[in-house]
Structure 1
Amino acid sequence: MQVIKSSVFKNHLPLELVVLEFDADSYEPQSFDLFNQPFPERIKKAVLKRQAEYLAGRICATQALTALNIDNPIVHTADDRVPIWPTETFGSITHTKGIAAAIAGIQDCATGVGIDIEKLMKDSQETKLQTHILRDDEKTQFNDFGKQVTHPLSVIFSAKESIFKALYPSVKKYFGFDKAKLIEFNETVLTFEIMHNLSKHVQSGLKVNVHYQLVDDLVFTQCLFTTT
């Protein structure tokens, strides 16, 4: 499988970010061996497109960990499909059609990070999915945000995905989009408030910042969470 390093997104976090463009059409199952990546049984049963996306994400993760001088820079997968990062590291992986990214850092405290890439939704999708992604009490902020960007729901959806990934290590369970409410925004950052007690470290009232970027037909979000 062909992969090319990309600089399409800027990194707003003090961590190692790797973004790769990949050609899923050139993927073959042997590509896992070529890139020295484990080939999980669950992924072997997936369609080739899914295999290519998984591999591209793991290649990004390995490159990010290598930049941190990690001796065994391989990210395995837990039974609940959560990435297993090497001891004393943490990170996040994302991919969409033809592009993948991973971010990683050294774990010096209870920390989580989330990144997400999404294709911008069609206008009809943005209208249809509002009730699934937005809380009733964030509609005013959403409408104001829509005066600043062309695809506000796509950005908020991606931001909430990144929040979930960043908080998951501290929550250890699934939580829905309704647990985070958009309260502020500017040209590069969205601020959310957690609306429920999710764990010891993730309590109602917690403020979480998400960096966002819109590039062509993509949105990229980053969220870093550190407990003290």
Structure 2
Amino acid sequence: MQVTKSTVFKNHLTLELVVLEFDAGSFVPQSFDLFKQPLPERIKKAVHKRQAEYLAGRLCATQALIALNFENPIVHTADDRVPIWPAGTFGSITHTKGIAAAIAGLQDRATGVGIDVEKLMKDSQETKLQTHILRDDESTQFHELSKQVTHPLSVIFSAKESIYKALYPFVKKYFGFDKAKLIACSETILTFKIMYNLSKQVQTGLEVNVHYQLTDGLVFTQCLFETE
């Protein structure tokens, strides 16, 4: 499988970010061996496109950890499909068609990070999916965001995905988009408020910031959560 480094996204966090562009069409099952990456049993059963996306994401994670001076790092997958980062590290992985990214850092206290990349939705999709992604009380901020970006729902969807990834290590269970409410937006940052008690560390009223950027028909978001 052909992969090349990309600088399509800026990194707004003080962590190691690696972005790769990959050609899923050039993927062959032997690609895992060529890149010295393990092939999980459940991924063996997936179509080649899914295998290529998984491999590209793990390559990004490996390169991010190498940048943190880890030798031969491997990011395995837990039963709940969450990446298992080496002891003393934390991170997040994302991918969409032809592009993958991973971010990683050294963990000196309980910290979570989430990143997400999405292709911008078509206008018809943005209209159709609003009720699935937005809370009723987010309409005012959604309208404000729509003055700043061409695809506001795509941005909010990606932001909530990044929030989910950043908070999951502290919640340890699925929670829906309704648990986070958009309360403020700027040209690069969205601020959300958690609306339910999800765990000891994630309580009602908690505010989290998400960095966002749109480029080349994609939206990329980053969310860092640090416990006190």
- Common fold: TM-score over 0.5: yes
Aligned-partner residue type, residue 36 of structure 2: N
Measured after TM superposition, the shift of residue 72 of structure 1 is 3.9
Aligned to 2:40: 40
Given the alignment of the two structures, is residue 89 of structure 1 paired with residue 76 of structure 2, yes or no? no
User: In structure 1, what is the Cα distance between the partners aligned to 2:4 and 2:34?
Assistant: 15
Aligned to 2:156: 156
SS of equivalent residue, structure 1 residue 87:
coil
Aligned to 2:121: 121
Aligned-partner residue type, residue 93 of structure 2: I
SS of equivalent residue, structure 1 residue 219:
strand
Which runs of structure 2 are paired with 1:132-211 in the superposition (5 Å)?
A: 132-211=132-211
Aligned to 1:99: 99
Given the alignment of the two structures, is residue 130 of structure 1 paired with residue 169 of structure 2, yes or no? no
User: In structure 1, what is the Cα distance between the partners aligned to 2:98 and 2:72?
Assistant: 26
User: In structure 1, what is the Cα distance between the partners aligned to 2:166 and 2:130?
Assistant: 23
User: In structure 1, what is the Cα distance between the partners aligned to 2:117 and 2:28?
Assistant: 24
User: In structure 2, what is the Cα distance between the partners aligned to 1:191 and 1:73?
Assistant: 34
User: In structure 2, what is the Cα distance between the partners aligned to 1:105 and 1:73?
Assistant: 13
SS of equivalent residue, structure 1 residue 43:
helix
Provide the TM-score with structure 2 as the length reference: 0.99
Cα displacement string for residues 18-71 of structure 1 (whole angstroms, at most 9, x for unaligned residues): 000000000001000111100011000000000000000000000000000113
Aligned to 1:67: 67
Cα displacement string for residues 82-107 of structure 1 (whole angstroms, at most 9, x for unaligned residues): 00000010000000000000000001
C-alpha RMSD of the superposition: 0.5
Measured after TM superposition, the shift of residue 216 of structure 1 is 1.8
Measured after TM superposition, the shift of residue 147 of structure 1 is 1.0
Runs of 4+ in 1 over 6 A off after TM superposition: none
Aligned to 1:12: 12
Aligned-partner residue type, residue 174 of structure 2: Y
SS of equivalent residue, structure 1 residue 18:
strand
SS of equivalent residue, structure 1 residue 108:
coil
User: In structure 1, what is the Cα distance between the partners aligned to 2:215 and 2:15?
Assistant: 21
Measured after TM superposition, the shift of residue 73 of structure 1 is 1.2
| Contact 1:72–1:86, Cα closer than 8 Å, also in 2 | no
Aligned to 2:219: 219
Provide the TM-score with structure 1 as the length reference: 0.99
Q: Which 5+ residue runs of structure 1 have no aligned equivalent?
A: none
User: In structure 1, what is the Cα distance between the partners aligned to 2:148 and 2:15?
Assistant: 28
SS of equivalent residue, structure 2 residue 114:
strand
Measured after TM superposition, the shift of residue 144 of structure 1 is 1.2
SS of equivalent residue, structure 1 residue 221:
strand
Cα displacement string for residues 2-25 of structure 1 (whole angstroms, at most 9, x for unaligned residues): 000000000000100000000000
Aligned to 1:77: 77
User: In structure 2, what is the Cα distance between the partners aligned to 1:127 and 1:187?
Assistant: 22
User: In structure 1, what is the Cα distance between the partners aligned to 2:72 and 2:172?
Assistant: 25
